[in-house]
Amino acid sequence: MSETSLLNTSLFPAIEPYRHGMLEVDDLHTLYWEECGNPDGQPVLFLHGGPGGGTSPGHRRFFDPAHYRIVLFDQRGAGKSAPLGEYRQNTTALLIDDIEKIRAMLGISQWLVFGGSWGSTLALAYGEAHPQACLGFVLRGIFLCTKGEVDWFVNGMKNFYPEVHQRFADAIPPEERGDLLQAYVKRLFCDDPAIYMEAARNWSRYEGSCLFLEPQAQAIADFESDEVSLGIGRLEAHYMLNAAFMEEDQLIKHIDKISHLPAVIVQGRYDVICPPVSAYRLHQAWPAAKYHVIGDAGHAAMEPGIAAELVRATEQFKSHGKFL
């Protein structure tokens, strides 16, 4: 059976939203949101990665639509939210406030929180700020946004993808390659579209080339597209430059705020973007959380083994209110 067939076997059938809209959250940002599945079902919040990655129709398929009231939204500067790639008035605290505005707008008291990669960062930060609103957590490809993780993303991935990293670095003049993050920031945040779009495509291609255990041409092409790369490039650099607007290791230090809640951690063994050490550290700090390492997977949620484990988690929570 092909990987596509395995993936489709794991996921629920494609669905369309029964309701969607735009929510103005301040004088600059308007967010796209949608609801799918059962309007009277158990609420679940999907938090996309990046930052800046946006949601996609495939993200709806991790949840049984007969059981779950599935809420998805594009974070500030991402996807269908406007303005695309906007990094001003864009911080973790503001994203957390946005989530609470969406929860209040939809009249939801509590929800299961599901997030991968940057979505896991935001899920943890949101949970620690508003534990009373959370039923539990499904977390994948853990990113805690520590200095070490940022340095790994910008420099360390060359140990596994040297040719990909070389292309990423070659887009910067030799005299600026000693600090690639600052060099990209200089270009991504300039006012010239020709310069910042090229930088965004280079940044986004770099990540897209390392997502899967076996690189996927379509994923790389998607990440190179203007509508994806501007959000990914600008916002990832923005949040990495500012340590996600958190103190160092904040998410681990404050894990006691949510450690009484059920959680599952799903991690690809060969995740080069968010190496397993971060997921392992989170599990050590939160031993009650279930911890599943997928032996034949990289970073992407759509790796067949990861997708199957994520669906298994949402099915367990549906049936038991916890993870087994």
CB 33 within 8 A of CB 59: no
Q: With contact defined as beta carbons under 8 Å apart, do 126 and 99 qualify?
A: yes
Which amino acid is present at 64? D
Q: Is residue 299 annotated as a catalytic residue, yes or no?
A: yes
Active-site hit among 48, 165, 238, 299: 299
In contact, 308 and 298? CB cutoff 8 Å: no
Q: How far apart are CA 240 and CA 115, in angstroms?
A: 18
| Coil, strand or helix at 239 | helix
Q: Which of 165, 204, 271, 283 is catalytic?
A: 271
Q: So what's the pLDDT on residue 294?
A: 98
Average pLDDT over residues 231-258: 98
Q: What are phi and psi of 5, to 5 degrees?
A: -65, -40
- State the Cα–Cα distance between residues 132 and 300, nearest whole angstrom: 30
pLDDT value of position 9: 81
- Strand 290-294 with 68-73, pairing: unpaired
Q: How far apart are the first and last CA of the chain?
A: 27
pLDDT at residue number 60: 98
Active site residue 117: yes
pLDDT of 1 strictly over 60:
no
Q: What is the pLDDT of residues 96-150, one digit of tens each?
A: 999 999 999 999 999 999 999 999 999 999 999 999 999 999 999 999 999 999 9
**% residues pLDDT > 90 (the chain):** 96
Q: What is the mean pLDDT of the chain?
A: 97
Q: Give the phi and the psi of residue 107 in degrees, each rounded to 5.
A: 70, 35
- Residue environment code for 50-66, b if the CB has 16+ CB neighbours within 10 A, otherwise e: bbbbbbeeebbbbbbbe
Q: At what angle do helices 217-224 and 226-241 cross, to 10 degrees?
A: 80
Query: How much of the chain is in helix, strand and coil states, percent to nearest 5?
Result: 50, 15, 35
What are 76's two structure tokens? 């500030």
Joined together, the tokens standing for residue 133 give: 């609103």
Cα torsion at 173, 176, 182, 184 (round to 10°)?
Answer: 10
pLDDT in tens, 21-41: 999 999 999 999 999 999 999
Q: Rounded to an integer, what distance in angstroms lies between the CA atom of residue 81 and that of residue 138?
A: 24
Structural domains of the chain ordered from first start: 3-147+245-320 (3.40.50.1820), 148-244 (no CATH)
Contact 138, 317 (CB under 8 A): yes
Which pLDDT value is given to residue 189? Answer: 97
Name the active-site residue from 59, 74, 98, 117.
Answer: 117
- Give, in degrees to the nearest 5, the angle at Cα 77 between 42 and 182: 125
**DSSP code per residue over 142-171:** -----HHHHHHHHTGGGGT-HHHHHHHHHT
| Predicted confidence (pLDDT) at residue 8 exceeds the cutoff of 90 | no
- 228, HSE (Cβ side, Cα atoms, 13 Å): 22
Judging by DSSP bridges, how do beta strands 134-140 and 42-47 pair with one another?
unpaired
* φ, ψ at 276 (rounded to 5°): -60, -20
How confident is residue 53, by pLDDT bands cut at 50, 70 and 90? Answer: very high
Mean pLDDT of 212-240: 95
Q: Scan for tokens 């906007």, then name that residue.
A: 86
